[in-house]
């Protein structure tokens, strides 16, 4: 009997969505200012009805309701939690705050502990979404857009959408989740209904890139399986292209770690020392006149032997300058010399060079007729045992070496320049550009020079799966065929 009476007294709050914070706040104000206790209020989400506040008394104009700002901010987070009881729970806290203004600072209070745990869970989910959303490209040209499928634990899509807008402002993207979707058309953010995994594309060209990246950053000596699964819970694995590698990498981690220890720096291989001795001491740095007066490529190459524009000259064997005819129509720009180039003093003669040569050949481009150089002219590496492992040049090194590249461009005056990979593109365009997205584009610089963007051939070498490798080689070959067409244009 008592139960029925209690139910009759219940005020039903209808919220428009799972994250209708404005609705919750309005209802909480009406309930509290009319002295309606938490047990007399029931909360439910009714997406399509214009029902908000319908069954509730208006807020009491004379009643004062002072709510700490901190509570409002925390409630705004907690409303994104998936616990269906959260609306009532938050109202209970608000109710208690009226008579216990210090409540939020009582860390031992069970309600406060719960508030904190819910807040943390939402925060973690927001962080996971930022880390594990993987976009897949659909459409080409004007139709190009990026779509991601993600399964958050809580209702965090709207709360996180601004982050993705800021991070991917220049892309048109959609993030689909079971509860809501966020869509950015380059100008406007729209939050829409949830979707199914089947609505998202399955696989795209960037998958191989993610896998290669993950393999390269994976450090077997630092593997802590439990910690890794905590940070990257298995439920996210199915949507991460790189996750297919995890079981194998974990299985091979012990061996990989001992191999890694065996590769720790020892003395350099004897032939490195011999070649280096031949090129040392490095000529004194060229003075400004000498460089200014170098008006042929051989003269410039000779002066560049003494380049001290950045510290990379100290560990490298020699400057590896560009090579090819001075009247070349096209210049190919790589990243930096590798181990073999450093020893030989010539660009693109190692494994990436061989891959590059064979593809140029297939595209009917005669390497002897083109000029090949690098954005950075000294080999940057880390010693590992007897090996020297390529290390990416940083922005300062790229900038310092751009001086030489500009001189090469000035003297040769090519019709077209091909940027092989991100470092070359950064050097040629003066800023970092997304290569996978812009691959195949021709960017015209302010000085009228046309720059064709593509990947670096070493990317193909790093792909493990034979089928994927072949596919990537095919894509690079079609890029080179485009280059051949553009060369004459
Ligand atoms: N990679 C480059 O970018 N340049 C070379 O010369 C060799 C490998």
Q: Give yes or no for residue 337 CB within 6 A of ligand 1.
A: yes
Least confident of 111-125, 217-231, 397-411: 217-231
Report how far ligand 1's centroid is from the alpha carbon of 204 (Å): 27
Residues 241-261: pLDDT tens digits? 666 666 666 666 666 666 655
Mutation choice for ligand 1 from 320, 335, 342, 367, CB with most ligand atoms inside 8 A: 335
Report how far ligand 1's centroid is from the alpha carbon of 289 (Å): 30
Report how far ligand 1's centroid is from the alpha carbon of 335 (Å): 6
Mutation choice for ligand 1 from 332, 338, 371, CB with most ligand atoms inside 8 A: 338
Q: Is the pLDDT of residue 3 over 60?
A: no
Report how far ligand 1's centroid is from the alpha carbon of 349 (Å): 8
Query: Under CATH, to which class is 270-486 assigned?
Result: alpha beta
Q: Give yes or no for residue 457 CB within 6 A of ligand 1.
A: no
User: What ligand 1 atom has the least distance to the C-alpha of 457?
Assistant: 1
User: What ligand 1 atom has the least distance to the C-alpha of 420?
Assistant: 3
**Mean pLDDT (the chain, rounded):** 86
Give me the mean pLDDT over the 391-420 stretch.
Answer: 95
Residues 148-173: pLDDT tens digits? 899 999 999 999 999 999 988 888 89
Report how far ligand 1's centroid is from the alpha carbon of 372 (Å): 9
Q: Is the pLDDT of residue 210 over 70?
A: no
CA atoms of 109 and 92, how far apart (whole Å): 13
The backbone torsions φ and ψ at residue 275, rounded to the nearest 5 degrees and listed phi first, read -65, -40
What's the pLDDT score for residue 246?
Answer: 64
Report how far ligand 1's centroid is from the alpha carbon of 19 (Å): 52
User: What ligand 1 atom has the least distance to the C-alpha of 341?
Assistant: 6
Give me the mean pLDDT over the 331-357 stretch.
Answer: 97
Query: Using an 8 Å Cβ cutoff, are 200 and 176 in contact?
Result: yes
Q: Is the pLDDT of residue 286 over 90?
A: no
Mutation choice for ligand 1 from 347, 373, 375, CB with most ligand atoms inside 8 A: 347
Q: Give yes or no for residue 352 CB within 6 A of ligand 1.
A: yes
Q: Is the pLDDT of residue 267 over 60?
A: no
Does pTM surpass 0.85? no
End-to-end CA distance of the chain: 90
Residues 349-375: pLDDT tens digits? 999 999 999 999 999 999 999 999 999
Q: Give yes or no for residue 350 CB within 6 A of ligand 1.
A: yes
Q: Give yes or no for residue 345 CB within 6 A of ligand 1.
A: no
Residues 31-49: pLDDT tens digits? 999 999 999 999 999 876 5
What's the pLDDT score for residue 288?
Answer: 60
Domain ranges for the chain, please list them: 3-126, 133-199, 206-263, 270-486
What's the pLDDT score for residue 400?
Answer: 93
What's the pLDDT score for residue 57?
Answer: 83
Q: Is the pLDDT of residue 2 over 60?
A: no
Q: Give yes or no for residue 338 CB within 6 A of ligand 1.
A: yes
Q: Give yes or no for residue 335 CB within 6 A of ligand 1.
A: yes
Report how far ligand 1's centroid is from the alpha carbon of 331 (Å): 14
Mutation choice for ligand 1 from 374, 390, 401, CB with most ligand atoms inside 8 A: 374
């Amino acid at each position: 009997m008592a139960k029925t009476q209690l139910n009759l007294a219940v005020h039903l709050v209808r919220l428009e969505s799972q994250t209708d914070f404005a609705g919750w706040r309005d209802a909480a104000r009406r309930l509290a200012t009319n002295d309606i206790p938490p047990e007399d209020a029931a909360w439910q989400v009714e997406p399509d009805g214009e029902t908000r506040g319908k069954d509730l008394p208006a807020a009491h104009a004379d009643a004062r309701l002072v709510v700490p700002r901190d509570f409002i901010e925390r409630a705004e987070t907690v409303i994104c939690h998936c616990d269906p009881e959260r609306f009532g729970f938050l109202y209970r806290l608000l109710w208690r705050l009226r008579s216990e203004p210090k409540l939020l600072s009582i860390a031992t209070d069970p309600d406060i502990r719960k508030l904190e745990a819910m807040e943390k869970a939402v925060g973690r989910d927001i962080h996971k979404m930022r880390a594990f959303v993987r976009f897949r490209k659909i459409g080409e040209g004007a139709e190009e857009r990026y779509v991601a499928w993600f399964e958050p634990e809580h209702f965090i899509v709207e709360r996180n959408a601004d982050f993705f807008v800021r991070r991917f402002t220049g892309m048109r993207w959609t993030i689909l989740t079971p509860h809501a979707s966020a869509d950015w058309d380059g100008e406007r953010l729209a939050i829409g209904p949830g979707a199914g995994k089947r609505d998202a594309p399955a696989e795209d060209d960037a998958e191989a890139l993610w896998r290669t990246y993950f393999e390269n950053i994976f450090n077997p000596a630092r593997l802590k399986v439990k910690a890794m699964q905590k940070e990257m819970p298995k439920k996210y694995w199915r949507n991460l292209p790189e996750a297919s590698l995890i079981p194998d990498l974990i299985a091979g981690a012990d061996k990989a770690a001992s191999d890694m220890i065996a590769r720790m720096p020892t003395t350099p291989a004897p032939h490195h020392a011999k070649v280096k001795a031949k090129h040392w001491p490095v000529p004194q740095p060229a003075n400004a006149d000498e460089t200014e007066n170098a008006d042929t490529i051989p003269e410039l190459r000779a002066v560049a032997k003494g380049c001290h524009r950045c510290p990379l000259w100290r560990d490298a064997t020699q400057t590896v300058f560009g090579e090819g005819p001075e009247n070349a129509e096209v210049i190919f720009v790589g990243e930096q010399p590798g181990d073999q180039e450093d020893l030989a003093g010539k660009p693109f003669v190692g494994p990436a060079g061989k891959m590059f040569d064979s593809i140029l050949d297939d595209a009917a481009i005669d390497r002897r007729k083109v000029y090949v150089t690098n954005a950075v002219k000294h080999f940057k590496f880390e010693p590992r045992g007897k090996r020297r492992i390529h290390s990416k040049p940083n922005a300062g090194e790229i900038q310092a070496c751009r001086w030489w590249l500009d001189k090469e461009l000035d003297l040769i005056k090519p019709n077209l320049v091909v940027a092989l990979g991100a470092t070359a593109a950064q050097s040629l365009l003066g800023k970092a550009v997304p290569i996978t997205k812009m691959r195949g584009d021709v960017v015209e610089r302010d000085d009228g020079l046309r720059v064709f963007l593509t990947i670096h051939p070493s990317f193909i070498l790093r792909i493990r799966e034979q089928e994927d490798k072949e596919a990537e080689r095919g894509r690079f070959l079609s890029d080179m065929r485009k280059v051949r067409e553009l060369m004459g244009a």
